[in-house]
Chains A and B, each alone.
Chain A
Amino acid sequence: MLGLDKKDAVLLVIVAVLTMFAPFILNPFPEGSAMAQFNAGYPDLMQRFVIFGIFAIGFNILFGLTGYLSFGHAAFLGVGSYAAVWMFKLLSMNVIPAIVLAVIMSGLFALLIGYISLRRSGIYFSILTLAFAQMMFALAYSVLTPITGGETGLQLALDDPRILGQSQTPEGNIPVPGLFGFEMRDSAELVIGSWVFTFNLGYYFCGVILLLAFYLAIRIFRSPFGMMLRAIKSNQQRLNYTGINPKPYTLAAFVISGMYAGLAGALMASMDPLAGAERMFWTASGEVVLMTILGGVGTLIGPVLGAGAIKYMENIISKINSDILHSWFAFLPDGLEDFVVTIVYPFIGKGWHLTLGIIFMLVVIFLPGGLVEGGQRISSWLRNRRARRDDRRSKTEPAE
C-alpha cells in the first residue's frame, strides 16, 4: 500500500486510527465523574499531542537516523511560528500560506545553522546547535523586538494589513485562522450519556498533516537515503574511507528535520496565533530530546508516543492541586490522609517535573529503547507464553 511493506502499512493504519479516534480514546471518563480530571480529549491538548508529535518525528529523522544530537531544535519551531504569524498579519488568515512560508524559512535557517554546526560531530555539534538556538532566543527576546514582539510575543492586531483577507471582522474583532472559510477553532460536540466528545476542526487539520508527516518519515526511513544516514550513525569513518562524503547527507537530514520543526511551529501558530520567544528557549529544545528518548530513538512511532506522554503529564498531572488530592484520599482516617497527601503531593501538581524525571530515569535504565521497547517486550512475552502453552499442549498429546 502506498509503496509501504505490510508492517509499515499496519503501523500507518494504527497511527491513522489513533489520530482520527483520539477524541474518543482520550476521553474515557464520563463528564462530572472524579476521573474526568484525567480526560485529555479537549481541542487544545489534542492539538498539542499532534503538533509535538510532528516536531518529534522530524527530530528523530536527524537524531534517530544519523545520531547527531541537535540541542537547539526548538529554534526552528520558533522561526516557523514567527513566519506563520507574520503571514497572518500581512497576507491573510488562511493557514496554507502561513505553513508554506514557515517551512521555507525554517529550512533556510536550518541550512545555515546546519552548514556551520555540521563541521563538528558528537558533543561539539550539540553545543554548537545549543549556542545558535540560545543566540536566536536572545535575539527574539529583546534585540529584535520590532520583528518578534520581544517578551510579549508576536501578536495579531486590529490594524494589521492582511492584504488578501480582512483587517477585522464586521463585528470589529481580529479574524481567526482558518482554511478557506472554515475556522480552525470550530468544534462539534457529541454527547453520549454523560460522555462528551469534542471534534475540533483544527485538531483534524493537524491530524491529517501528522499522517502525511508520518508517511513521509516512513518513506525516508526505508529509502536508500535513510540507509545512508544509518551508515553515518554506525560508522562515519568507514564511509569516509570508502570515498563517500557524508556531509551532504547529514545536512539534508538536518534541513528536513528543521523543516518538520518549522511545520510544527506553523501549526502551533495556526491553532493559536501567537509566537513567543520562550518556545525557542533551550528547555524547549531539551524537551524534544526527552520526547524522542522516552518514546524510542530511531523508531517510527516512538517519538509520537513520547510527545504524547510528556504533554499529557504537563497539562493533566500538573493541574492536580492539593484540594483534589485531599478529596481523593478523603476515605482514609484524618492523620493518615494528611500523611498520604504529603507523600504524594511533591510528585504531582507543580512537581510534575519530578515524576517526569523519575519515569525518564526508569525508561533509560530499564528500557533503553523507550516506550516502544516496552511494548515489544510485552508483546514478545505474550507470544512466548502462547508458544509455551501450545508447546505444552502438544506435549500432552504426543504423536505416536
Chain B
Amino acid sequence: MSNNDVTRRGLLKSGALAGAGVALPTIFTASSASAFTNEPTGSTVTLGFNVPQTGPYADEGADELRAYELAVEHLNGGGDGGMMSTFSSKALDGTGILGKKVEYVTGDTQTKSDAARASAKSMIEKDGAVMITGGSSSGVAVAVQALCQEAGVIFMAGLTHSNDTTGKDKRANGFRHFFNSYMSGAALAPVLAANYGTDRKAYHLTADYNWGYTTEEAIRSSTEAMGWETVAAVKTPLTQTDFSSYIAPVLQSGADTLVLNHYGGNMVNSLTNAVQFGLRDKQVNGKDFQIIVPLYSRLMAKGAGANVKGIFGSTNWHWSLQDDGSKAFVKSFGTKYGFPPSQAAHTCYVQTLLYADAVQRAGTFEPCAVVEALEGYEFDGLGNGKTLYRAEDHQCFKDVLVVKGKENPTSEFDLLEIVEVTPVAQVTYPPDHPQFAGGALGTCNNGG
C-alpha cells in the first residue's frame, strides 16, 4: 500500500541482527531466502494429507488416508506400483519425487473450514509441507484452496463435488480431479429420460448449504431442459436427522419424483424415511413414484442398506470398473487393506500421483512450474479413461458414471451397479457457464 524507504525485510533483518548480538553464535536466514514456500532441500519431501478424521465424514477420511499411504508407498517404490504401471505418463520411477523420498504428515479437518485451515497451516508452517491434499466436503476444499493460494503451495482437492470449487471459488494453486454437480446433472438427465420419461414432476429436498444449492441448480436445469417440471425445492438443515416432516408434504404436492440433494448421513436418513413412508410403492399421475440421489458413494449406500435398490445416482468412479488402471488400483488397495477402495480413496490416490508426476515432468517443486505442468495436461490409465486437466479452471474432464443401487448385492461392498459410463463430451461445459460464473483463477503463487 505504501512504499517506505525502510523495507520490511531491512527492518526485520536489523531487528534480527540486534538479537544476534545477544545470542551468539547464530546464523540468520530470512524466511524468503528460498525461491518458494517450503522448498525441499534435504533428501525428503513432505506432503500434507488433510482429511476428516472426526465428524460426519470420518469414514471417508479414513479411506482417503489409506489411499494416500498406498500412493506414498508406490511413489517410494514399495508395493506393486498400483496405477503407476498403467498411467500414460512414465515420468515416475519409484524413487520418490525427483529422487527425494516422499514423507507425509496427517491432519484432521473435522469437516470445519476453521479447523481444516488451522491444520493445513500447521502442516505448511511447522512441518514444511510443499503440497496439501484431501478433504471430504466442498466448504473445506474451498477454504483450504484459498489458504494454499495465499501461502504459495499446491492444493490437490480430495472429494469435493460443489461447482464452486472450480467455479466462483477457483484458485490458480488448486486442482480438482473429482467431478462436480453440473456433470452429475448432465450425466443423469439422459438416463432419467430414458427410464422415467420426459414429463415428470420433481420435488427437491436440498441440504441447506453451498453444495446442496449447486447440486439442486445443476439437476434442476438439466432435468427441466428435457421437459421435467420442478414442483418445489425445499431446503433442509444440515443437522437434520429425521426427515419425516419433509417427506409427508411430497405426496400432497402432486410430484411423482423426489430428488434428494443430500450427502452422507443426511442422504442415509432422508432416503430411509422416504422408503419407510412407502413413497416408492405409490402411483402418482399414473406413474410409479421414483427417488433420485444425484451424488452416490459406497459408504452412503452401505448406510442406507436395502433402501438404495434401484435408485439412480452418479459417481466419480467405482471399483467394479474393468479398465487396467482401475483393476490395478483395486488389486493393490485390496491386497493391502482387504477390501475395495471407495471413490474418495480413488480420487485422492490419483491426485497424489498426478502431483508427483507433474513435479517430475516440471523438474522442480516450484508451484508455478507444477501449475504449468498440470494445466491442459491430458492423461490416461488412471481409471476414468482419457482425462484432461483444463487450464481455464483446473477441473478434470473425464467420463462420469451413472449408477443404480444393486438389486441383489453379493457383498457389503457390491452395492452399486454401473448403468452407463457417460462419455466426457456430454459432461463438458464452457469455462464461463452460468453455473460457474464469477470468481477468477488469478495467477499462481510461489510464496517464499
Q: Chain B: which residue is nearest A180 at the CB level?
A: B2
Q: Is there an interface contact between B209 and A181, defined as CB atoms closer than 8 Å?
A: no
Contact with B along A193-229 (1 / 0, CB 8 A): 0000011010000000000000000000000000000
Report the stretch among B11-19, B180-188, B387-395 that lies at the interface. Answer: B11-19
Is A276's CB under 8 angstroms from B443's CB? no
B320 part of interface (Cβ distance < 8 Å)? no
B118 contacts the other chain (Cβ, under 8 Å)? yes
Interface size counted on chain B using CB atoms at 8 A: 60
Residues of B contacting A151 in the complex (Cβ-Cβ under 8 angstroms): 138-139, 209-211, 238
Contact A44 B125 (CB under 8 A): yes
* Known contacts A159-B440, A181-B3, A192-B26, A45 near B169 by CB under 8 Å: no
- Give residues 117-131 of B contacting A (CB, 8 Å): 117-119, 121-122, 125-126
Closest B residue to A349 by CB, please name it. Answer: B53
CB-CB under 8 A from A201, the residues of chain B are 8, 12
**Residues of chain A lying within 8 A (CB to CB) of residue B13:** 188
Which one of B20, B169, B209, B443 contacts A173 once the chains associate, using CB atoms below 8 Å? B443
Q: Is the CB of B122 within 8 A of A45?
A: yes
Inter-subunit contact A141/B442 (CB<8 Å) = no
Chain B interface: which of A103-111, A313-321, A325-333?
A313-321
Q: How far is the CA of A173 from the CA of B139 in the complex (A)?
A: 21
Q: Which residue of A lies closest to B54 (CB)?
A: A350
Residue A303 at the chain B interface, CB threshold 8 Å: no
Q: Check B8 against A191 for contact (C-beta < 8 Å).
A: no
In Å, the complex CA distance between A350 and B108 comes to 8
Stretch of A164-172, A252-260, A294-302 at the chain-chain interface: A164-172
Quick check: B1 and A142 within 8 Å, CB to CB?
no
- Interface 9-mer from B83-91, B145-153, B265-273, B283-291: B145-153
Cβ < 8 Å to B, chain A residues 152-186: 152-153, 155-159, 165-166, 168, 171-174, 176, 178, 180-183, 185-186
User: Whole-angstrom distance between the alpha carbons of A94 and B19 in the complex?
Assistant: 28
Decide: B126 and A39 in contact? CB cutoff 8 A: yes
- Say yes or no: A189 contacts B31, CB within 8 Å: yes
Interface size class of A (residues with CB under 8 A): 35 or more
Give residues of chain B (99-149) contacting chain A, Cβ–Cβ below 8 Å: 105-108, 112-115, 117-119, 121-122, 125-126, 138-139, 142-143, 146-147, 149
From B29, B107, B125, B138, give the contact of A43 (CB < 8 A). Answer: B125
- Chain A residue numbers with a CB within 8 Å of B115 are 278
Q: Does A147 contact B (CB under 8 A)?
A: no
Contacts of A278 in B (CB 8 A): 112-115
Contacts of B112 in A (CB 8 A): 276, 278
A315 near B113 (CB under 8 angstroms)?
Answer: no
CB A269 to nearest CB in B, in angstroms, measures 11
| Cβ B122 vs Cβ A188 within 8 A | no
What residues of chain A lie closer than 8 Å to B16, measured between beta carbons?
A: 188, 190, 199
With A44-B118, A44-B121, A159-B440: A152-B142 Cβ-Cβ less than 8 Å: yes
Q: Does B229 contact A (CB under 8 A)?
A: no
A155-B142, A192-B26, A350-B53 known; A186 vs B108 contact (CB < 8 Å): no
A233 to chain B, nearest CB (A): 33
* Contact partners of B117 in chain A: CB under 8 A: 272, 274
A276 touches B105 (CB 8 A): no
Indicate whether B409 reaches chain A with its CB closer than 8 angstroms.
Answer: no
Contact of A192 among B23, B147, B209 (CB under 8 A): B23
Q: Any chain B CB within 8 A of the CB of A92?
A: yes
Q: Which of B26, B112, B445 has the most A CB atoms < 10 Å from its CB?
A: B112
Asked whether B27 lies within 8 Å of A191 as measured between CB atoms, the reply is yes
**What are the 5 A-B residue pairs with the smallest beta carbon separation, nearest first?**
A151-B209, A172-B443, A276-B113, A44-B121, A42-B126
